[in-house]
Structure 1
C-alpha cells in the first residue's frame, strides 16, 4: 500500500522494481570517499556496484524492509535488529568474491568493521538510502526517512546507520540522529560516522549505546 509522506508516495518495493532500484543504488553510491577507497577505478567500480547492490536489494526484500517512491526515484533498505544476528563469514566471503573478484578484500573489510561495531540494542538498521542523482537535493530522501522514522517512534525503537561523508552526516544530525565514535578505514581510508536516532521518551531520546566491539573470527 502506498503511503503519502510530505506529498511523496512511499510504497514497499517488490522484485518487479529490481532493475530500476538497483540502478539507483549503484549510481547514487558510485561517487564518494568510501567508493574511491573501495574500488579506485570508476568503470570497474560501476560493474562491481551493480552486482553488489543487486545482492543487497534482493537480500533486503527477503530479510528486511525495502521502500521506494511511486516514480522509483529513491530506495531505502532497512533491517530490523531486534536481537544480535548471527553471521556466516565464510559464506559471505564466497559471495563477495563472486561479486567483486579482486576487489572483494576491501569490501569484506568494510562489512566486517560495520558488523564489529554494530550496536546490540534492539533497533532498525538503515543499510542504504539512495536517490537518483538526477533527483537529489529535492527532499526525497528526507521524506522517505521521515516516513520510516514516524513508524519507529510509534513502536518506540531507535534507528542506526553509518554515514560515509560529511554531507550525509549533517543531514542525519538534522533528522534527530546523534554521532557516536567514528570508524577510520585502514590503508589510508576515509572516516565513517556511526549514527543513532534514539527511541523517544518523555523529554528526549535514548542516547547512543555503549560501543562493545564484537569478537569475530574468520
Structure 2
C-alpha cells in the first residue's frame, strides 16, 4: 500500500538497523512514558540509543520488522503462538547495561506488559515509530494496513499497548479495542492494552468480540 507521499513498505534487514535507530530514538524521545522513564531529556537520548539498539536487534532476530522505502518509519512485530518462554537472564543483563541506573523502571514496565499480555495466540506490535518529520502524513497507518492485510489473511488477532491517548485513538480507528488502562506505578502514566479481533480470512467483517481478558500477576 502507498500513501500520497509515494512511499511503500518492505521488510527491514540487518543493514537497515543503523539508519533506523536514530529515527526510533527521535520518535519515542518525548511523551508521558518517556518523561516517567528518564526525566532528564539529555540522559534519555543517550539511554534510548542503547535501549532501542537492543530492541531493534531483538525484533530483527526473533520477530519481523517492517519499514518504509525511505526508512522514515518502523514497526516491530512478534508472533505469539503459545505461552511466552521464561525470561532470558541474558536479556535482563543486556537491559541493565543499556539502561543503567534507569533499568529498574524498564524492568517494571516489562513486568506490567507481561502480566497483562493476552495468553491466546496473536501477533504482537511491540513498537510503531514514525520520524517526527513524517508524522501526520499517514505513514504509520500505511505500516498498520500492510501488517493487518497479512494478519487478516491468516485470521489472526493482534495486540499492542498504546502509550498515550493520541496513539490509542489511532489504533481505535484501525479496528483495535481498548481495555482498561494499566500503570507500572502510581507515578507512571496510563497505558492501554489494545486488541484487534481477527477477520474471517480477510474477506469479511471483523469478528466482534469484547476486549479479551488478560493474564494477571498473582
TM-score between the two structures when normalised by the length of structure 2: 0.92
Q: 3-state DSSP class of the match of 1:183?
A: coil
* Shift, 1:182, TM fit: 1.5
Is 2:216 aligned against 1:213?
A: yes
- Deviation (angstroms), 1:112: 0.9
What is the rounded CA distance, in whole Å, between the counterparts of 1:156 and 1:204 in structure 2?
Answer: 9
Task: Answer whether contact 2:159 2:193 (CA < 8 A) is retained.
Answer: yes
Match of 1:138? 137
Q: d(CA) in 2 for partners of 1:90 and 1:16? A: 27
Q: How does 1:91-130 map to 2 (within 5 A)?
A: 91-130=90-129
Tell me the residue number matched to 1:8: 7
Task: Classify the secondary structure of the residue corresponding to 2:191.
Answer: strand
Task: Tell me the CA shift for residue 92 of structure 1.
Answer: 3.0
Give RMSD over aligned pairs. Answer: 1.4
* TM-score (normalizing by structure 1): 0.92
Structure 1 residue 104, shift from structure 2 partner: 0.3
Q: Note the 1:63-212 alignment, pairs <5 A.
A: 63-88=62-87, 90-201=89-200, 203-207=205-209, 208-212=211-215
Alignment partners' CA distance in 2, 1:206 and 1:213: 24
Structure 1, gaps ≥5 residues long: none
Number of equivalenced pairs:
212
CA distance in 2, matches of 1:115, 1:173: 22
Residues 63, 77 of structure 2: 8 Å contact kept? yes
Write the distance in 2 (CA, Å) between the matches of 1:23 and 1:94. Answer: 23
1:39 aligns with 2:38: yes
